[in-house]
Amino acid sequence: MYWDEHRLYSEIYDLVVDVCTGVSPDCLVLMRQALERETNQTARSLLQAMLENVELAGKLRKPICQSPGFPTVYISFGDKFELPNIKDIWSRAITDATMDGFLRPSMVHPLTRKNSGDNSGIDVPNFEFDYVPGQDFIEMIISFKGCGAELGNRMKIMTTAMLGKNYAGFKRLVLETVKDAGGKPCPPFAVGIGVGGQMDVAAKLSRRAVSTRDWRDVNPDPMLQDLEEELLERINLLSIGPAGIGGDTTALAVKIGLSFTHTAILPVAINFHCWPARRGGFRIYPDGSKEVLFGRE
């Protein structure tokens, strides 16, 4: 077996450190484009500071943000899934990177609020497994998503009557949520939207859409593509701006994930991702080769 425990651990540890000391390249490109377009002077200086921080973090190999957010690992696999205990390997890589000063210990018991001290804890990191029949590789993407951003999130079970003409009710819900979130989710943010299923499905779709998709990609569903483009444009017309103190750049991307739902309901989850997209991953093949995802130059 090419992918033994030792090799996987060292690949995963290095990935965790890389991910928290920089941003994903799609995010970086969109931030640079935003700076070129931005007309508000304060917003321009904030965007410049953010870009400088990315550069400094990379150069000094320090965490880009003091908060590691909450980690979710997306794993997809095919019919052959022969690996050592990867849950344990991911947990160890995260606690070791914490002890090495790359991640602040931030995981607590939800009720007692007691900090575990090393980012270990029940269901940390969170795993999302996806079985893809016929896939010959195993894909793993880690996403550390900031938690201040979570404070702006909204979940609503809409109904047919609320949907409105041209889905105006749905669009309005997204815009109202963005307006109420203001500067809390560290704009210029990305917005993940999940529609369909029940509450749990919509929430997971929203996190997956904003965490695993390239923020510059085009939705293969033309209807969702139109909705993503329209919502992004409308959000940026709200002028909330970088850091939430005004400007042309409020959002970098809108990503929608969709599943069918029951005829009685329309679950909608709106999920903010702070601007520092800390995500990365790789695909590993049975022959021992590796393909990097969201790799930086």
Contact residues for other proteins, defined by CB under 8 A: 42, 45-46, 49-50, 52-53, 56-57, 60, 62-67, 101, 103-106, 108, 113-115, 117, 146, 148, 151, 164-165, 168-169, 171-172, 175-176, 178-180, 182-186, 234, 237-241, 243-246, 274-276
Dig out the tokens for 226 from the structure: 């139109």
CB 2 within 8 Å of CB 44: no
Q: How far apart are the C-alpha atoms of 20 and 33, rounded to whole Å?
A: 22
CB 234 within 8 Å of CB 297: no
In sequence order, the 6+-apart residues with CB closer than 8 A to the CB of 87 are 127
Dig out the tokens for 41 from the structure: 């002077």
* Residue closer to other proteins, measured from CB, 182 or 286: 182
* Residue closer to other proteins, measured from CB, 218 or 238: 238
In sequence order, the 6+-apart residues with CB closer than 8 A to the CB of 80 are 136, 286
Q: Are strands 278-284 and 138-145 parallel, antiparallel or unpaired?
A: antiparallel
* Residue closer to other proteins, measured from CB, 90 or 189: 189
Beta carbon of residue 38, minimum distance to other proteins (angstroms, whole number): 14
Q: State the residue for tokens 């970088």.
A: 242
Beta carbon of residue 219, minimum distance to other proteins (angstroms, whole number): 22
Q: State the residue for tokens 């210990």.
A: 105
* Residue closer to other proteins, measured from CB, 37 or 179: 179
Kindly state the DSSP code that residue 108 receives in the 8-state scheme.
B
Beta carbon of residue 3, minimum distance to other proteins (angstroms, whole number): 31
Beta carbon of residue 230, minimum distance to other proteins (angstroms, whole number): 10
CA distances from 5 to 11, 83, 88, 100, 283 (A): 10, 8, 10, 20, 16
Beta carbon of residue 133, minimum distance to other proteins (angstroms, whole number): 39
Beta carbon of residue 265, minimum distance to other proteins (angstroms, whole number): 21
212 exposure class (CB count in 10 Å sphere: 0-12, 13-18, 19+) = buried
Beta carbon of residue 64, minimum distance to other proteins (angstroms, whole number): 7
Q: How far apart are the C-alpha atoms of 159 and 164, rounded to whole Å?
A: 10
* Residue closer to other proteins, measured from CB, 128 or 230: 230
Cβ count within 10 A of residue 22: 22
* Residue closer to other proteins, measured from CB, 60 or 111: 60
* Residue closer to other proteins, measured from CB, 45 or 126: 45
